[in-house]
Amino acid sequence: MSAQSASPVPDRGRRAMRPHLPMRPRWLCQVCAGPWPCQPARLLLLMDYRRDRVALSIYMAACLFDATADLMKQNPDPRELFDRFVGWTARPFPLR
């Protein structure tokens, strides 16, 4: 077996996981119903953007822009929204 085909099912763990995507306008996860981006969504996003943290921050800032329009009607704290959507992207996060 070559190094590329070490597993009989390529990317088995990655493909088996359902994507944790947001349900608008409440911005809850479609899979676990937690506030999106939930922890599994953050991990998947970090994996997808592992080579470009700036692009991840830009993507999440765009999500924050969309979510603000939806969620400000519910009167949340703007600081909480920033931390939820963008603040976590700048923190060091070890990927192994």
- Distance of alpha carbon 63 from alpha carbon 22, whole angstroms: 10
Instruction: Give the position of tokens 């943290």.
Output: 53
Compare 3 and 56 and report the one with higher pLDDT. Answer: 56
- Using the predicted structure, report yes or no on whether residue 44 has a pLDDT greater than 80: yes
**Which residues have a Cβ under 8 Å from the Cβ of 28 and sit 6 or more positions away?**
22, 34, 35, 36
Compare 81 and 16 and report the one with higher pLDDT. Answer: 81
Three-state SS for 84? helix
The secondary structure of residue 46, as a DSSP letter, is H
Number of H helices, E strands in the chain: 4, 2
Q: Tell me the domain boundaries of the chain.
A: 21-89
